[in-house]
Chain A
């Protein structure tokens, strides 16, 4: 340290390298937040650099270094407390809006195989309507032109098909009227 104070760069680099494990030991023994240890060690090195003129060669080096490390650690803990005081740990929001349809991304898209089987089990009219309008995303006019079914009939069939699918996938029993259809 004496050589470093006199301007010897090589001695100073060697001293800082030797100081790192000591600082790390001091910091990690008192600091529970492992992720920040490297930051605090660097802070201590910078602090050491800026107050290196306060070292008295007549006194021991380790207590001088440990005092700086200890104070910088306290500063880091104060900083952390200040930050965490203004932060609230919020769990992942499970809903964006109360409507179920807005939450499909959070709830997941479900089992595609189950959906495929449920569509296959639909009556043929409803299945065609669902496939054309919902899977292929055709317009009513296009779907009508492709299938030869009127627009009104397609609308009704798609609506009933979706309702039946929802009932099947959510476990709700479809009404007797829908079953009959």
Chain B
């Protein structure tokens, strides 16, 4: 049974009609997020120092495709996360990062396959790389904080999806930054330690979605009830 009547609740809500600041369009918000995040990423890259072979990598089409796809994944995931917080938008927008993610993972997978065909099992060496996880976390921290602050302004309609997409965006951008100073390009290593870390963090963030994003108005109903009594 309701604690207060619906018409009383309406009066209560209408009595506090402070003007609200519109949520900008997802595309604009993505641009704002990128504008906030990039200085952080560049700062970390600057502190860590650019990899010495960066100029050579810039002419490596495969490296550029991987970086481009990772960046596109980050941007599409950010846009999808912002779309997910706006009621009434189509659900297919949640799937925006899937295509660039597939291109990114596909490029890495193809590189792995090529290494295996060319060199056999020697082309698929995998050894622990304990710099990737802290590196991605360090580079991704700024974008993640900015993303968290921004998705909290949206409606918590799909909390798990939204936080997972937000983490994918931050992780993707961190991966792009990481490969500007971290000189590990063996495809399997990148696939497992870098892309794997991004995907793992995405899944973990998704699991915490309901705790981070929830409707925070239980206290208002109590307030309305107290005001009535």
Contacts and interface: CB of A to CB of B under 8 A. Distances in A.
A42 B6 contact: yes
Given A38-B6, A46-B220, A67-B88, A53 B14 contact: no
Contact of A39 (B2, B87, B88, B220): B2
B20 interface: yes
Interface stretch (B21-29, B36-44, B120-128, B162-170): B21-29
Interface of A: 4-10, 12-13, 16-17, 20, 35, 38-39, 41-43, 45-47, 49-56, 59-60, 63-68, 71-72, 75
A38 B215 CA distance: 18
24 contacts: A5-B22, A7-B18, A9-B15, A12-B17, A13-B11, A16-B13, A35-B1, A38-B1, A39-B1, A42-B2, A42-B4, A47-B155, A49-B13, A50-B217, A51-B87, A51-B155, A56-B23, A64-B88, A65-B87, A66-B88, A67-B88, A68-B87, A71-B158, A75-B215
Given A46-B220, A51-B87, A67-B88, A56 B22 contact: yes
Nearest to B216: A50
Contacts of B6: 20, 38, 41-42, 45
B21 A53 contact: yes
Dominant secondary structure of chain A at its interface with chain B: helix
A9 B14 contact: yes
B19 A47 contact: no
Interface residues of B, number: 33
Nearest to A62: B88
Given A17-B10, A47-B215, A54 B85 contact: yes
A75 B156 CA distance: 11
A10 B9 contact: no
A20 B21 CA distance: 24
Give 6 closest A-B pairs by Cβ, nearest first: A13-B14, A64-B88, A7-B19, A67-B87, A53-B20, A51-B155
A164 B205 CA distance: 77
